[in-house]
Amino acid sequence: MGVVSQVAPETIGSLLHSCSITKAFRHGLSYHAAVLKSGLQADTIVSNHILNLYAKCGKITLARKMFDEMPERNLVSWSAMVSGYDQAHEPRMAIELFSKMGLVPNEYVLASAVSACASLMALSQGQQIHAQSVKVGVLFYFFCFQLINHYVHEMCTTDDLRRGMVLHCLTIKLKLDSTPFIGNVIITMYSKFNMIEEAEKAFRLIVEKDVISWNTIIAACCHSDDHAKGLSIFKEMANKVSLSPDDFTYASALSACAGFASIRHGEQIHAHLIRTKLYDDVGVDNALVNMYAKCGCLEYAYTVFNQMGCHNLVSWNSIIAGFGNHGHGAKAVELFERMKEIGLKPDSITFVALLTACNHAGLVDEGQAYFNSMNVIYGIAPGIEHFSCLIDLLGRAGRLNEAEEYMEKFPFGHDQVVLGSLLSACRMHGDVIIGERLARKLLNFQPVTTSPYVLLSNLYASDGMWNCAAEARKMLKGSGLKKEPGHSLIEVKGGVEKFTISDFSHSRIEDIAHILKTLSWEQDEVFSYYS
């Protein structure tokens, strides 16, 4: 400690700053003790670092004590303390302290004050801060952007979403939501929670949309699996807007084409890229490989892959997944071995593609070996998606006891998807004993879908146990669950039509019914019609 106490203020300030970033509270306490022993507490910069450390670590009481005992405070001191209160969910204290500051604020302390106003829904105080920012010449929309952008990158819970929505409301009140700077971040916020309608509303309200605005909403649609809407917005941009799409736009549009297997639109985009000589970005190349692979055009996907100037891990993952998903497991394994030969290390996604390939091609021993190698050779801990592939692989091969043994070893063994996959395999192979055992575990979860009941009923029926099958159906009826109706997307004359089971609301339902009736004619009816 004696050595630390003799270091320069700049050095100990740097150490405290590192502790703030990593939230290393105990190490920070040691450095604070060194500061006290060396008499450096009178140095405002060092004291600010200590104050910031406590605030970042959530020790708001210690931070306030440090703040109150500082012989001299500057703008950084006030900013750290106001921000600390805001981050500690004490917005009233943040606003109260901000009102006592007495210094010309910068964008950082203003951002914390606005955040506190948003938490309290204090519109009038927010407007006062806005007026103050204009008066001192701070770009208010810039720190609003910083504030919302911070929440968007950190948010992962519904509480985060609520706070983000409060900030969105504040930007609407202050008429900042129509700027692309703010609007683009709002689109991203809603897309993270698959709220695509809200994201599109935010997009439509932006007055002068830039390329990032269009890219963000197209990517948001793809993220929410609304690929038809994403492609529709891309076409709107291409046909009606003077802006030129960039590499990210094309990659997102190709992702939308891949999402609902629209080979026609994908080929049109590819042709345009070749014509305009924009065909030199690895991200666009990867999107082309993925699009052709998902549309079942493996020859085109492989051609694009081989013509690429350079490959990254995404390129290899895309082509391995492409061959694997279409039953060409041996080719997928060959590509994986080629990838290893050039020294490229696989990641978690590579193994999902590889295990899926082994699953679809029935390469049981190979798949099992790759799964076991993940942690041992590559240091990759298997996730639920890898485990699901392995259990499905063993289940399809009839190695049900072996699959059960794996389920006992790994924490994912009681996952509903995994249990359902093996239960389905039990039905396929007629193993009622293991199937009943799995079904009991599955039903203990209080299922939110009809699948467990249907699988169990089908298992009994396949073994001729009709009374048990009827009992399973009775349990399904008593659960109150209903099967979600399936739907299909069909591309017709450049548009996308959605058809849902038992839904007769389509505008051309009568024409569709007539065609279906014609297609269902018996052979003798056809002959009699032309006789």
Q: What's the 3-state SS for 241-295?
A: CCCCCCHHHHHHHHHHHHHCCCHHHHHHHHHHHHHCCCCCCHHHHHHHHHHHHHC
Would you say residue 183 has pLDDT above 80?
A: yes
Would you say residue 300 has pLDDT above 60?
A: yes
**CB of 432 closer than 8 Å to CB of 459:** yes
User: 327-376, pLDDT tens digit by residue?
Assistant: 999 999 999 999 999 999 999 999 999 999 999 999 999 999 999 999 99
Q: Mean of the per-residue pLDDT values for the chain?
A: 81
- Per-residue confidence (pLDDT) for residue 201, from 0 to 100: 93
Distance between CA atoms of 491 and 273, rounded to whole angstroms? 22
Distance between CA atoms of 468 and 461, rounded to whole angstroms? 8
Can you list the pairs that 234-243 forms with residues at least 24 positions away whose Cβ atoms lie under 8 Å?
Answer: 241/209, 241/214, 243/209, 243/210, 243/211, 243/214
Q: Which of 312, 262, 316 is nearest to 291 (CA)?
A: 262
- Per-residue confidence (pLDDT) for residue 471, from 0 to 100: 72
Distance between CA atoms of 509 and 504, rounded to whole angstroms? 6
User: 71-104, pLDDT tens digit by residue?
Assistant: 899 999 998 999 899 888 888 999 899 989 888 8
Instruction: Please provide the DSSP assignment of 178-215 as one string.
Output: TSHHHHHHHHHHHHHTT-HHHHHHHHHH-SS--HHHHH
Judge if pTM exceeds 0.75. Answer: no
Instruction: Name the one residue in this structure whose structure tokens are 């910031």.
Output: 52
Would you say residue 478 has pLDDT above 80?
A: no
- Per-residue confidence (pLDDT) for residue 5, from 0 to 100: 47
**What is the Rg, in whole angstroms, of the alpha carbon atoms belonging to the chain?**
30
Q: Where are the domains of the chain?
A: 209-289, 311-380
Distance between CA atoms of 256 and 266, rounded to whole angstroms? 9
Distance between CA atoms of 79 and 236, rounded to whole angstroms? 45
- Per-residue confidence (pLDDT) for residue 1, from 0 to 100: 43
The residue among 486 and 238 whose pLDDT is bigger is 238
Distance between CA atoms of 217 and 76, rounded to whole angstroms? 37
- Burial class from Cβ neighbours inside 10 Å (0-12, 13-18, 19+) for residue 147 reads buried
**CB of 389 closer than 8 Å to CB of 356:** yes
Distance between CA atoms of 389 and 410, rounded to whole angstroms? 14
Give the three-class secondary structure for 450.
coil
| Confidence grade of residue 43 (pLDDT, cut at 50, 70, 90) | confident
Distance between CA atoms of 515 and 487, rounded to whole angstroms? 19
